Structure 1
Amino acid sequence: MNSTFIINANIVLENQILNNAFLELLDGKIAEIDIMENCPQLASIENVIDCRLEGYIIPGMIDIHVHGALGHDFMDADHICYSKIAKHLASEGVTAFLATTMTGPLSEIEAAIEALSYYYNNQPTAVAEMLGIHLEGPFINRAKKGAQSEEFILKPNVQQFKYLYDKSTQLICLVTFAPEEDNNFALLQELNSIGVIASIGHSDADYNTAIHALKAGITHVTHLFNGMSGLHHRDPGVVGAVLLSEDVYIEVIPDNIHFHKDLLRMVYKMTGLHRLLVITDGMRAKGMPDGMYDLGGNEVEVINNQCIQHKTGSLAGSVLNMNTARKNIEECLSLSIVEQIRLVSLNQAVHLGLDNRKGSIAVGKDADVVWLNEEGEVEKTFCLGKLAFEKD
């Protein structure tokens, strides 16, 4: 029996805050939630965390689009590196993530997803949990490649995808691709048939093509505004199509770099709380000092939190901290802590079909919880009931 009690806490539930309460984490699950006056005697319990009514206990955040951290990248095909990335993510309040790949030689993508499959089945404890793989590329449009390597971009191909899917042991659960390059939406139909989330991204589709793709089964958009045809008064493009759709989940990178922060207010007014997904798109420079780094075989210079591809001058991922992203949406959108959690955790869990065990604090769900102190900083992170991060 591995039990931890978090006491004198303000616990953020799915639709309310339970003040002056306690939480029991037992064998990786949330065993009990109640007010302090119903808390059992804890003299014999070894692990007791006293929050002193400071800050909040929130569900662990979920980053569904992250490439790396601490000098490591999921394309490195090294499961030791993966555990270091996962450990760092816990310091941001992230308790679960999708490991995101990039466009590159098929042999390198294959090596990465095979290493990720091994890592998934041998994950260490007390780190953020890998939930699956986000395949970003290689089936994208050269015109909107961003930091992806143009020479390795491929036309959407069902057989090549099936090969990668099998190599991943069916861990690929989200694919970013350009549907306008997909003849007769063949890849899109394949993704829909096996339950893999189809995302429009790195796409130069016009408005009509994007609308047709959405009707055919696109349910996700990769980093809104970036790597896609923009909003124009004569052709609303991908941006216009997804904003007018009522069913698509929309990734945003709220670092005040990837798009003007006031645009986030516009997007929120159009979509509401239930379709926005906060991501970091973090690359290997996350958690590292400014300097030169590699992303997908390209040199990227990081300076003042901006990641600039050296050769083209385009943005190339980010070094955004997930908790900083949460604070940015709090400031920009004036959201309550309950509303913030929907954008950084619950929506992701719902979209991935994992809200029966993740995304909110409830009895029986995974013991993925984060203590935010009075300054809104991550004080402690528990992943499946294990202490994964402790401030200072």
Structure 2
Amino acid sequence: MSITLSDARVVTPEGVHEGWLTIEDGRITHVGRGAAPGPGLSLGGRHVVPGFVDIHSHGGAGGSFPSGDQEEARRVAALHAAHGTTTIVASLVTATTNELTRAASALADLCEDGLLAGVHLEGPYISKARCGAHNPALLREPSVREFTELLKAGRGHIRMLTLAAELPGALDTIREAVANDVIAALGHSDADYEQTLLGIEAGGSVATHLYNAMPPLHHRDPGPIAALLEDERVTIELVNDGVHVHPAMMRLAYDVAGPGRTVLITDAMAAAGMGDGVYGLGPMRVEVVDGVARLAGGGSIAGSTLTMDVAFRRAVQQVGLSLPEAVEITSLTPAKVLGLADDLGSISVGKRADLVVLTDDLEVSGVMRHGNWTTAPR
């Protein structure tokens, strides 16, 4: 099947231009400027950006990845796809070994079906002092043996592990993760500057939701934030919902790390796409009030109700990024983190036709995945 999208404002790594693109068999075959050479589907001057890539999401549409329920997982993926996320990693939370094994195995099936891009183990090897919405009773020291069991359950689809670098056994577990092509992410950590540097040297290459669930930046005690920001080997995650991180701190992190080391994530939980109410996040009870998720009783922030289109829009409208910059941190850089940048993350010839059509106000108007419309342009 071949389709040409014409009369579009195409956002590529080189900038924004009036033009067109052709898709054949799910791949981008031509990207041109000006009028299309033949008939096509006119987008009426709307923007076209690559599909968003979310490397850290727990749920949405009332469903949750940590449940390990495949129908819930499909519902989560569909909700985020409707908001432009064409590649999503399923994030789990701290649980027992049996629960994590069961969820990892069930979600691995959906990875093999192409619905999910992998599984992220956020915990259980995190700090009690910085555990946020994780059950402190289930936290434990990093274990290479247990991690190996989880890898087997995930059948090669465990893509990322978040852990605290200061815990006993953490450095060995980081090395084991890297040796098995799993991204080692540092977060939910009470580490100081030096301990964080050791985690990076062991192979830690992602900062799990920078600023959140870690000691704050201080001029006499720089802590993990400074270590993670200054090291060129580390990609930083940011939750751009206006709740987790102030726009000024978003700009500070972006100015230091730049588009090549910054990714926006949703950290979404079951309430994304839903209304206020009470929801579950693993074994924890979460109350959502005015769109903000916190542990029941007014506790810690417990994920978000964010979708990637909102994060993208805020990056442009509140943080002040250009469209190509916003595209890089919502598509190309996270694709690089996952090792998928040869296949997706930008509008380039040969790449997968995962596309989002946006209005002038940067609202989603259409979504294409693998060359097929999942949301027809409107």
What is the TM-score when the length of structure 1 is the normalising length? 0.93
SS at 1:156's partner residue?
Answer: coil
When structure 1 is superposed on structure 2, of 31-40 and 320-329 the one drifting more is: 31-40
SS at 2:118's partner residue?
Answer: strand
Q: Which amino acid aligns with 2:301?
A: L
1:188 aligns with 2:186: no
What is the TM-score when the length of structure 2 is the normalising length? 0.96
SS at 2:117's partner residue?
Answer: strand
Structure 1 residues 372, 203: closer, same or farther in 2, change over 3 A?
same
CA distance in 2, matches of 1:50, 1:37: 10
Work out which of the residue numbers 22, 27, 30 in structure 1 matches 2:25. 27
When structure 1 is superposed on structure 2, of 292-301 and 58-67 the one drifting more is: 292-301
| 8 Å contact kept, 1:230–1:240 | no
1:155 aligns with 2:141: yes
Deviation at 1:215, TM superposition (A): 2.1
Q: Partner residue of 1:260?
A: 246
CA distance in 2, matches of 1:70, 1:184: 34
CA distance in 1, matches of 2:170, 2:267: 30
| 8 Å contact kept, 2:165–2:198 | no
Q: Which amino acid aligns with 2:2?
A: S
| 8 Å contact kept, 2:248–2:319 | no
Q: Which amino acid aligns with 2:86?
A: T
Work out which of the residue numbers 86, 92, 97 in structure 1 matches 2:83. 92
Q: Partner residue of 1:45?
A: none
Q: Partner residue of 2:326?
A: 340
Please list the CA deviations of residues 115-172 of structure 1 after superposition, one character each: whole Å capped at 9, or x if unmatched. Answer: 111122234xxxxx41111111111111111000111112100111111011101101
CA distance in 2, matches of 1:74, 1:140: 19
CA distance in 1, matches of 2:193, 2:147: 26
Question: Where does the alignment leave 5 or more consecutive residues of structure 2 unmatched?
Answer: none
Q: Partner residue of 2:343?
A: 357
Write the mapping of 1:269-288 to structure 2, written as runs, cut at 5 A: 269-288=255-274
Work out which of the residue numbers 51, 54, 62 in structure 1 matches 2:43. 51
Q: Which amino acid aligns with 2:224?
A: V
Q: Partner residue of 2:5?
A: 6
SS at 1:138's partner residue?
Answer: coil
Deviation at 1:184, TM superposition (A): 6.8
Deviation at 1:36, TM superposition (A): 4.8
CA distance in 1, matches of 2:353, 2:296: 42
1:251 aligns with 2:237: yes
Deviation at 1:313, TM superposition (A): 1.2
Deviation at 1:221, TM superposition (A): 0.5
Q: Partner residue of 1:108?
A: 99
SS at 2:172's partner residue?
Answer: helix
Q: Partner residue of 2:285?
A: 299
Q: Which amino acid aligns with 2:4?
A: F
SS at 2:190's partner residue?
Answer: coil
List structure 1 runs of 4+ shifted beyond 3 angstroms.
35-38
| 8 Å contact kept, 1:265–1:332 | no
| 8 Å contact kept, 2:247–2:319 | no
Q: Which amino acid aligns with 2:112?
A: N
Q: Which amino acid aligns with 1:70?
A: A
Deviation at 1:206, TM superposition (A): 1.1
CA distance in 1, matches of 2:361, 2:318: 17
Deviation at 1:311, TM superposition (A): 4.1
Deviation at 1:386, TM superposition (A): 1.2
| 8 Å contact kept, 2:50–2:347 | yes
Q: Which amino acid aligns with 2:203?
A: G
SS at 1:343's partner residue?
Answer: helix
Q: Partner residue of 1:308?
A: 294
Q: Which amino acid aligns with 1:61?
A: F
| 8 Å contact kept, 2:6–2:35 | no
Q: Partner residue of 2:158?
A: 172
SS at 1:96's partner residue?
Answer: strand
Q: Partner residue of 1:217?
A: 203
Q: Which amino acid aligns with 1:294?
A: G
CA distance in 1, matches of 2:4, 2:36: 13
Write the mapping of 1:36-75 to structure 2, written as runs, cut at 5 A: 36-40=34-38, 42=39, 48-53=40-45, 55-75=46-66
| 8 Å contact kept, 2:9–2:47 | yes
Deviation at 1:57, TM superposition (A): 0.5
Deviation at 1:193, TM superposition (A): 1.5
Deviation at 1:383, TM superposition (A): 0.6
Q: Which amino acid aligns with 1:77?
A: G
When structure 1 is superposed on structure 2, of 295-304 and 225-234 the one drifting more is: 225-234
Question: Where does the alignment leave 5 or more consecutive residues of structure 1 unmatched?
Answer: 43-47, 124-128
| 8 Å contact kept, 1:149–1:297 | yes
Q: Which amino acid aligns with 2:193?
A: Y
CA distance in 2, matches of 1:93, 1:361: 14
Q: How many percent identity over aligned positions?
A: 34
SS at 1:307's partner residue?
Answer: strand
| 8 Å contact kept, 1:74–1:100 | yes
Tell me the matched-pair count. 378
CA distance in 2, matches of 1:230, 1:75: 28
